[in-house]
Chains A and B, each alone.
Chain A
Amino acid sequence: MEIDKNQLLRFTTAGSVDDGKSTLIGRLLFDSKSIFEDQISAVETTSKKKGHEGVDLALFTDGLRDEREQGITIDVAYRYFTTPKRKFIIADTPGHIQYTRNMVTGASTANAAIILVDARHGVIEQTKRHAFIASLLQIPHIIVCVNKMDLVDFDEKAYNNVISQFEEFSSKLLVRDVRFIPISALLGDNVVNRSEDMDWYQGAPLLHTLETLHISSDVNKVDARFPVQTVIRPQREGYIDYRGYAGRIASGIFRPGDEVTVMPSGFTSKISSIDTFDGPVQEAFVPMSVTMTLEDDIDISRGDMIVRSNNKAEASQDVEVMLCWLNDKPAKPRAKYAIRHTTNEQLAMIKEVIYKIDINTLERKSDDTELNMNDICKVKIRTTKPLMIDPYRENRNTGSIILIDESTNETVAAGMVV
């Protein structure tokens, strides 16, 4: 395999037991030969015990004891498979409304989202919820799989109905790339192999689509941002005066010689070298982990951000974000939370809830301002010191925040800078 060139694609699948999500994932893993014999024989045994005929593909995604007993997905599960073209990470998330937080979690790092629609039922509330969350989290590619085509006699009309229903709804969303594929996860049509029962469909099967999605342009390569994670000072022979700033490039490209500004202090310098264990590099880009040295001695520590001097992030203590509340305890008005943004941590207060979004109708409700679990609201946040931010839709890495309740240490909210 040509691992020198193969990329990693992360995608999320949202859906409930009924729309065949587990069967689809099982089918992808099974047909791409990512399932081992001992796993197959374990599933065969369980299938027999439960009285199913043949192998129940859905059992390959079985997880925790409670999930198996209740036949539901509770938490995000990550699954892996590799084809000769790409490595894939599936974030398998539950679809029910009470698990919005898990859908948001899975979506936060995804390049693509698979939304499953039952061909018999068309676009339902849950479909809209998934599409909305995919657009809110700015997943670059959405693939709508119209499933159970075998149960509608592989009828093109049923497929076209879903397309028009979905497009009518999604015109209100910010999605860049939507594709539709008619499939039968149970029988395998258009999942890995092309369907023999749907001549009218000219597009590619799902796996081929996933293998060829153009993802290199999904990350921001324009705005150079380097949040400092830690300072490396070896204090050993050969490196007595070495002072390197370690971090992972959040966006853009850096090169030795670049004029840079350290935010928030505003000091400027030039990049002297970009170091790695394997030697210095002539350029470094998102998402590389590197260590930078600068020509001047400047006081820099964790939480600072190195940017190119001609293209700075916005430093602000007042930030508007779309906030998804993740905790069963509602937000306390005007309470202080720890806020984490890149490697920077400050205190923050939710000053105002501007409106809440009904995620089924997309209506904005400005009279309902209580932040309960799974609510998504536009809010104003004030921080104790400036954050170096970019709008989330331009930069997922420098446009995202989490809030932590310091009385419980739990992560209570996730936010996207507007």
Chain B
Amino acid sequence: MSKYYLNYLDELESEAIYVLREVYSQFQNPVILFSGGKDSIVLTHLAKKAFFPAKIPFALMHVDTGHNFPETIQFRDDLIEKLGARLIVGSVQESIDNGRVAEEKGKNATRNALQTTTLLDAIESNKVDCAIGGGRRDEEKARAKERFFSHRDDFGQWDPKNQRPELWNLFNGKCFEGEHFRAFPISNWTEMDVWNYIKRENIEIPSLYFAHEREVVWRNGSWIPNSEYLIMDEGDEIVRKKIRFRTLGDITITGGIESEADTLEKIVEEVSAMRQTERGNRADDKRSETAMEDRKRQGYF
């Protein structure tokens, strides 16, 4: 009987497909939160597998900070066209223009925290009852406590101490008007699993993940890309480096690493030898020890 077992990537895939089908069955209007990063790309690929031969039954929702890598937006639009899916964009710029949020000031200013308001507004105005995210429990200590089906109250808030128990594979997605859920089908995946899966499935990802030449500035221990949004400081020096990005967020806060990895094989090899966490290059997580927990409580991704 020994041949009747799955290897761990197959088991993780099967689990994620199961979760996606539960989301589809338990909610009226779920969307995939699509950032253009590798995790949300893997999520979209899994959704394609879960409902084959039907099309993906979810719209893709992108919270657009306005501070994007142009490559990400191009990639997003191409993917939407290929899938024939619907795209919903929540614009942080609009939230600023409407006075819903105020822009941070200074050279380390980011629109990262502002996304929460835009995200919650987009969820409310589109009557979304479940937002499917690519969050993984290995990313961060607050995420380690996250459920597959995670309840948000009518203010969009997460209450980590009062979460619904989640046993076996029995998910409880019942919610009242105005509340919503976040679902995390790849909760149990690690960064390494995601890369191995991308390689195995040969999933297309933005060119930013591959080593390329770019103008960058050394800041807080990583290479921040030069862009029209970058506020230069005295002593900042723009240099050209061969870099790649391990995660993709706003162009203002996503740091790259020096790398020669220009193929999926080389990336997988590089990641498996990495001695730093992937979020180590994200300025948004460095603000305090509980930066992620605090943002998540308020309704962040």
Contacts and interface: CB of A to CB of B under 8 A. Distances in A.
Interface of A: 1, 3-8, 36-39, 62-66, 68, 74-80, 82, 86-87, 89, 101-102, 104-105, 108-109, 216-217, 221, 229-230, 232-236, 238-239, 242, 244, 246-248, 253, 275-278, 285-289, 291, 302, 326, 338, 340-341, 343, 396-397, 400-402, 404, 406, 409-411, 414
A402 B161 contact: no
B14 interface: yes
A104 B21 contact: no
B8 A64 contact: no
B125 interface: no
Interface stretch (B64-72, B110-118, B172-180): B172-180
A80 to B, nearest CB: 5
B190 A80 contact: yes
Interface string B235-267: 000000000000000000000000000000000
Nearest to A60: B141
A234 B274 contact: no
9 contacts: A36-B276, A38-B276, A75-B163, A234-B53, A275-B53, A289-B17, A291-B52, A338-B174, A404-B172
A7 B6 CA distance: 7
A78 B138 CA distance: 8
A69 B128 CA distance: 36
Interface size classification for chain B: 35 or more
Interface of A is mostly: mixed
A246 B275 contact: no
B161 A411 contact: no
A108 B175 CA distance: 24
Give the 3 A-B CB pairs with smallest separation, nearest first. A8-B8, A277-B49, A289-B17
B103 interface: no
B174 A36 contact: no
A233 B51 CA distance: 9
B206 interface: no
Contacts of B163: 75
A289 B54 CA distance: 15
Contacts of A286: 4
Interface string B160-183: 110111111110101110000000
A343 B48 CA distance: 21
Given A38-B276, A75-B163, A230-B25, A402 B12 contact: no
Given A229-B22, A242-B53, A285-B4, A411 B165 contact: yes
B282 to A, nearest CB: 11
A104 B24 CA distance: 27
Contacts of A109: 167-169
A229 B51 contact: no
A30 to B, nearest CB: 13
A135 to B, nearest CB: 16
B144 A63 contact: yes
A374 B68 CA distance: 49
Interface string B13-50: 11101100110110000000000000000000000111
A272 to B, nearest CB: 15
Contacts of B11: 7-8, 287
B188 interface: yes
A326 to B, nearest CB: 5
Contacts of B13: 289
Contacts, number: 185
Contacts of A80: 137-138, 188, 190
A402 B277 contact: no
Given A36-B274, A75-B145, A233 B54 contact: yes
B12 A8 contact: yes
Contact of B280 (A38, A216, A234, A244): A38
Contact of B141 (A64, A104, A234, A278): A64
B2 A104 contact: no
Most chain B CB inside 10 Å of its own CB: which residue of A221, A236, A402: A402
Given A63-B141, A77-B144, A232 B290 contact: no
Contacts of B276: 36-38
Contacts of B48: 277
Given A216-B5, A221-B1, A400-B167, A64 B145 contact: yes
B174 A406 contact: yes
Nearest to B51: A232
Contacts of B275: 36-37
Contact of A78 (B1, B2, B137, B160): B137
Given A64-B142, A338-B174, A410-B164, A3 B9 contact: yes
Contacts of A78: 137, 144-145, 187-188
B277 A39 contact: yes
Nearest to A64: B160
Given A3-B196, A63-B141, A246 B21 contact: yes
A291 B20 CA distance: 14
A150 B217 CA distance: 51
A409 B137 contact: no
